[in-house]
Amino acid sequence: MSESGTAGRLAGLTSWDADWRGLRVVVAGIGASGFSAADTLVELGAAVVVVDGSDSEDNRAKADTLRIVGVREVLLGADSTTGIPPVDGQAPELIIASPGWSPAQPLLAAAADAGIPIWGDVELAWRVRIREGRPTAEWLTITGTNGKTTTVGLTESMLLAAGKRAVAAGNVGTPILDVIRDPQGFDFLAVELSSFQLHWSESISALASVCLNIAEDHVDWHGSYEAYAAAKAKIYDRTRIACIYNAEQHETEVMVEEAEVIEGCRAVGFTTGTPAVSMMGVVEDLLVDRAFIEQRRDSAAELASVRELGDVVPRHLVANALAAAALVRAAGISPAAVREGIRTYSPGAHRIEAIASAGGVLWINDSKATNPHAASASLAAFTSVVWIAGGLSKGVAYDDLVRTHAARLRAVVLIGTGSTALQEALHRHAPDVPIISWHTSHTGNGHPEGGGEGAQVMEWAVSEAARLAGEGDTVLLAPAAASMDQFSSYAHRGDAFATAVRALVEGQAPTAKEL
């Protein structure tokens, strides 16, 4: 089939019941989203080849399953990802890229050069969401450098409180294609979209959308901050009812102004201060709506009390709740359901999670703070902090973060193998703050230089933090970096912190000298 013929065929693939039979597809990646995409495409009748650079035992087991369900071929190992594999002896007509695969990856770069269309699993999900005999869910889409998962969870909780069949999907929870294939269908999907997923999307038309915030992150994947921001801005394209933006960050408002939306779509801001007309905000510790009520010019609808968000309510959690409320209010959900959704929402672990309070010291786990913007939000919630930080920096800078919060830092305990940039920023902007580093504490003492097992690293960090903290201090794990140098994930890192803190509080933790 010619390139124009392929493009025409792909343009017509806009429902589950379209003719997907025999479409030649390469799925790049065998993780959760790639596996789900391959499984879905086989069910649709496509001819599928899957590739992944890791020939691990887990991937071989997945490959066996995919072959059983009808995938033509599964290619594992580094050599399988350097070029474009044929499908049934011919060039593929479509590539499905897993979210972590960068456009610079050799297979994807070769596909782009050859003019082969590349979609992500979310783009595929949007195209197959319509299926005869099942309800078609409305999408509420959420992105941002930080706060996505919390906002998606709050959105889901509010929808469920309204009696809707709803689920969080996308970059969190169940792979979105598994949700699409649910036999009962849904009324609404609260879809978390990463910059990676947005990069590979081109036709999503959400009922309402939001970019919560934007700050430097994933520069190594996108190639520049500008490219990263452009990917985030795609969240607003083709939005139908409401584009929700952060009134305290002008960049998100500009994204809305420049977006190609469906005629009649509204711009609705949210702020942790007093809201103007067509905004959500806070008045006397109440979350209020001045956007989705008829009398918005001279009144506001009460949604919930700030206190109903929990015992520790940092400013960014209030912002996330307002963004979620705006999304569901755009979908016609009542103020009462918004309030009930906030009351019943259970935040995920590792997000400003209070682990213990002992001896006048509060211990907080925010391992989910994997970049400077997220760490800044955490630090802003406390006045005197012993900060446990460091890890893989992902190519970001730390000067603004340290400059902003230097006055609240009592001491810093550095973990991670890639914390040089953070340490240098601390020396420049917080020269009087004591810094204790795993790297300098353990080099030459029988431990791997800058490395160490995750549990051992965290036991050391917690012990040092306990030594440095005094009454009225908060020991805050907000690493401002990724975790994969010493831990398998941010959750592993947070669990290690919680275990070490609880052991220390119960008097079971070893001292720093014993480590």
HEC letters along 373-433:
HHHHHHHCCCCCEEEEECCECCCCCCHHHHHHHHHHEEEEEECCCCCHHHHHHHHHHCCCC
Closest CA to 85 of 114, 61, 65: 114
Positions of CATH 3.40.50.720 in the chain: 3-123
What superfamily does domain 134-344 belong to in CATH? Mur-like, catalytic domain (3.40.1190.10)
Q: Tens digits of per-residue pLDDT, 145-157? A: 888 989 999 999 9
- Tens digit of each residue's pLDDT (9 = 90 or more) over 199-208: 999 999 999 9
For residue 144, say whether it is annotated as part of any ligand binding site. yes
Find out whether 147 is annotated in a ligand binding site: yes
Tens-place pLDDT, residues 15-52: 999 999 999 999 999 999 999 999 999 999 999 999 99
Residue 514, classified by CB atoms within 10 Å of its CB into exposed (0-12), middle (13-18) or buried (19+), is: exposed
Q: Is 146 annotated as a binding residue?
A: yes
pLDDT at position 348, please?
A: 66
Residue tagged 């230097």 (tokens): 406
Superfamily of domain 353-505: Mur ligase, C-terminal domain (3.90.190.20)
Q: Does residue 189 register a pLDDT over 90? A: yes
Q: Which pLDDT band holds residue 451 (cuts at 50, 70, 90)?
A: very low
Residue 74 has a pLDDT of: 98
* Span 341-364, average pLDDT: 87
Per-residue CA distances from 119 to 234, 255, 441 (Å): 14, 23, 47
Would the annotation count 65 as a binding residue? Answer: no
Sign of the alpha-carbon torsion through 494, 498, 504, 505:
positive
* Other CB atoms within 10 Å distance of the CB of residue 15: 14
Query: Residue 506's pLDDT is what?
Result: 83
Residue 177 has pLDDT above 60, yes or no: yes
Which pLDDT value is given to residue 440?
A: 60
pLDDT at 439: 65
Cα gap 484→493, rounded to integer Å: 9
Nearest to 10 by CA among 114, 103, 93: 93
CATH homologous superfamily of 3-123: NAD(P)-binding Rossmann-like Domain (3.40.50.720)
Residue 145 annotated as binding site: yes
In the chain, list all ranges with CATH 3.40.1190.10. Answer: 134-344
Residues of the chain with CATH 3.90.190.20: 353-505
Q: Which helix (H) or strand (E) holds 224?
A: none
Mean pLDDT of 348-377: 87
Whether 272 shows a pLDDT value over 60: the answer reads: yes
- Can you spell out the DSSP letters for 67-87? HHHT-SEEEESGGGGSS---B
The number of beta carbons lying within 10 Å of the beta carbon of residue 507 is: 6
For residues 375 and 445, the model is more confident at 375
| pLDDT at residue 4, rounded to an integer | 63
